[in-house]
Amino acid sequence: MRAEVLLIWSSLALCCVLICAGEEVQESKLSRGRVQVRESKGLVKHRRLEEEGDVLMSDEPAEAMEAEKTKPKKKKTPEEIEAAKARKAAEKEAKAKKQKAPKPTKKPKAPKPTKKPKQPKPTKKPKAPKPTKPAKTTTTEPPNLKPPSIEEEEEKLLIELGWDTLIRPVTPEGPGWEEPVEPGLDLVPGRYPDKKLTTSTEVIMYIPEETTTVPFVGPWYEEYDYADLAAKKQEEEEERARKEKAEKAERLRKKWEEEEEERLKQISVPTEPKKCPPLGVESHRVEDDQLLASSQSHHGFTAQRGRLNMQGSDNEDDLYGGAWCAEPEERNHWLEVDARREVEFTGVITQGRNSEQQEDFVSSYFVAFSNDSRDWTVLHDGYAEWLFYGNVDKDTPVMSQFNTPVVARYIRILPQSWNGSLCLRAEVLACQFSSSYLSENEVNTSDDLDFRHHNYKDMRQMMKVINEECPNITRIYNIGKSSQGLKMYAMEISDNPGEHETGEPEFRYTAGIHGNEALGRELLLLLMQFLCKEYNDENPRVRRLVDGVRIHLVPSLNPDAYELAYEMGSEMGNWALGHWTEEGYDIFQNFPDLNSILWSAEDRGWVPRIVPNHHIPLMENFLNGSLAVETKAIITWMERNPFVLGANLQGGEKLVAYPFDMQRPPASSTDSRRWRTNGEMNEETWARIQRQNEGALRETPDDAMFRWLAMSYAHSHLTMTETYRGSCHGDDVTGGQGITNRANWKPVVGSMNDFSYLHTNCFELSIFLGCDKFPHESELPLEWENNREALLSFMEQVNRGIKGIVRDVEGNLVSNATITVEGIRHDVRTAVGGDYWRLLNPGEYKVTAKADGYTPQTRLCMVGYDSGATPCSFTMARSNWDRIKQIMALNGKRPIRLVTKANVVKTTPASTVGVSSTIAETDEHAIAQKAERLRRLRIMRLRRLRLQRLRASQSTTPTTTTTTTTTTTTTTTTPTTTTTPPPETERTTSWYDSWFPVDSWSTENPFDSIVFDSGPTQDYPFEYTID
């Protein structure tokens, strides 16, 4: 009992010491950290040793002490457990309060304690037991007093404490009994559990009066290091703050990068402006009264001359200049365009003045808009009036687009700076608003075709698709290659493609001879699609055309230049870009000059005996001269196919030009007098030369036919004859008909049309489709509607005139036979199959067919107004002209000596009968030849007789004339006087020399052009002249 009381007393003393130590720790404000905690731990250990020492110093024997040590701890009573729960709740409250306490550490000055790296050093100090001095006084005082008896001391303490009824001695239940410990007390947050502290045995007393004190304050501070916890939290907060700051900086950086990237995108790649087609200033869809200007320098530079690609006249002082030019003394300059209704303006294209001497262009300008032409608003860019930069040269167009479309009716260009004189050519880009009605410049085509521009690859693909859709009537082939190796593709459309059918004419359309003239190229591609679709739909007109004509369509004769113009696009290529080939040739003017050869021969009287009027042969050095690769390929293609009619589609004007394209130089008066005095020129040739003296000769022998062909296209076109506004670049040169002679308009040398007319059978014209060489895609449907009927109507003209087949008496086809029409000095030839076609206007014609080795045949052919050519075929008989030429060649083409017979036979009726009976014995063919020879001889005799009579009338002596011929001798005597003819010396002459000289070049029978009557020849004055 005494030992238990002593144990209780020691526990009470220990609790008091621990409470005091806890108060001191709180007063130190956690400044010493782990050092004080460790000192307190050392103090506790020291006190425990002292308590153990006190126990050992007790009066109990050693065995009792050992037994006391081995006794198990007493079991907690329910009151103690409730007290422990109360303490646990108090500890939680204190813990919650102390966890909230570190919040002020977020202030900027809180991190200072974390910067002390040398904090653990105070653990090495040996003076840690100092705080235990007060505890020593309490623990050492009882040994100094005289201790009472154990029972008294125990009772006294119980009475004083009032525990005499609460505490009862409890014996341990077994040797392994241990005092239960409050669960969770060792798992204090903020540190690892200390095994030594958790295993120490402590006596927990419940004092009801002390409700505000916490018995386990000491172990609380021993288990939690608040300074370390605060530092750790501070570090965590700083780390979290650094991470948040870094994340925020990263977010800001990424956001800035995105904004910068977006800004750069907006700067480098601006928003795509709306694309609109041209309003029609260049193509003349905008009429002259829709163009106004502030002033003009003089009459040749009005506002109507301010159209894009406007070409000036050769004489710059003439009525037509190459741009609109303003009066230099004016202060405000502007060029105005009236759209006639509200549209969306999206841009302007400007160009300088077309001039060979001047370099005039506008370098900067403003743009203003209005709806009433009185109040104008200058376009702003968001900060100030938007100044657009213009041209840097006079020829290259420059486009300026608006960021957003501007809705207005009127637009003005306000020049601000310029080079040279203020001269301007322009085009306006605008989109029309959809409306219930169509304007004159809008059309809805009914044909489902591909209305767009095709480059070389697209064109080839388009032709392939058409061929696959209509394989039975189409064939794709190429006529050659360009200088860059691109193939010049052609499409044949016929009921039997791939071969020439006898009696079927051949027609050709060519386009793209100048690369920047793209409208003709697209029209031929559209024509291919149209013929294929309509043929499959059984259109009777198309069926009749395809079945009766072999059609050849070549969309691009200059593919290299077109690719260059296509890259620049519509409206952006100047007038000359892509006009020539890669080698610098203008294909249309690159053909051999056959006009000069023909006209020189006509002036010398060599046509048609020496130089023919058709199929003029090429000189040897022509093809080896300065001809483009494309030109050589075209010439070979012309010679390989017997074309009858053709046209080449060009641009830059709106008219049809027919040959001659070259002006004939005027003949001098001395030459005309020389030809007239020699008596070797007929009246018609003389009249032609007289007209030539007044002006250059430009008409072909088929001028009437060419005019009809040209009018068949121009009058079928919807707008080509609307010439009241003039031509594209000047006055109307067509006289309101839409056609003109090229030599009279713009003469050229070595043109494709003249070469085709003089070297082949083909009649070819040039069709200029419009003022705009490279129209926008939106204008293609309108252009197709304007030209569709004209394209078909012109092809149908190939069946106008006469056609036929030339055979011999045995039925063999005669090729290269010449077909001559009386009154027209231009012939044609039969093809390999013996068939021919001759384009003629309605009328009655005498047609002659000639061929080497055959007797010419002439017949009368009628051409009516009905559709279709008139059949006019020939069957020719062989002649002996080949044998005559052989005889002449054997004698070296020298005069043949003919010896007269000794017996002179006088011509009598009896002899005539005898001769007739002799002739009857021969065959009919020999009789016909002999009769023809006799007629020729009679004519020569009469001609000689006439000449002798003329000489006799001029002299006074002989009245008797003796005529000697190479075959017979006849003496003619007057009725009054009879004389004996004087002896005459023998003369040697050739029978053909008296007719006309025969040269070595002649391949034509000189008697083929003479028609002899079968009746008897009478003695009358006879005169025959040959032109």
**3-class SS letters over 143-154:** HHCCCCCHHHHH
For the CA atoms of 592, 594, 597, 602, the dihedral, rounded to the nearest 10 degrees, stands at -170
- DSSP code of residue 681: S
- Are 398 and 425 spatial neighbours (Cβ–Cβ below 8 Å)? no
pLDDT score, position 177: 45
Chain segment 496-534, per-residue pLDDT in tens: 999 999 989 999 999 999 999 999 999 999 999 999 999
Residue appearing with tokens 């759209």: 339
For residue 162, how many other CB atoms are within 10 A of its CB?
10
CA 270-275-278 angle, 5° bins: 135
- Are 135 and 47 spatial neighbours (Cβ–Cβ below 8 Å)? yes
pLDDT score, position 962: 37
Tell whether omega for the bond before 471 is within 30 degrees of 0, i.e. cis.
no
CA 537-543-544 angle, 5° bins: 155
Segment (H or E) for 506: strand 506-511
- Rounded CA separation 1014/932 (Å): 9
Q: How many CA atoms lie within 13 A of 715 on its CB side?
A: 8
- Rounded CA separation 597/583 (Å): 27
- Start-to-end Cα distance in the chain: 177
Which DSSP string corresponds to 799-835? GSSEEEEEEETTS-B--S-EEEETTEEEEEE--TTSE
- Rounded CA separation 385/369 (Å): 13
- Rounded CA separation 639/220 (Å): 120
- Rounded CA separation 762/508 (Å): 9
Would residue 29 be called left, alpha or beta, if left means φ above 0 and alpha means ψ between -120 and 50 degrees?
Answer: left
Residue appearing with tokens 């200058």: 378
Query: Closest by alpha carbon to 431, among 673, 778, 734?
Result: 778
Chain segment 458-509, per-residue pLDDT in tens: 999 999 999 999 999 999 999 999 999 999 999 999 999 999 999 899 999 9
Residues in the chain where the model's pLDDT stays below 50 = 25, 29-73, 101-145, 165-203, 206, 209-212, 214, 216-218, 221, 669-670, 672-679, 695-696, 900-922, 956-1027
User: At 443, phi and psi to the nearest 5?
Assistant: -150, 145
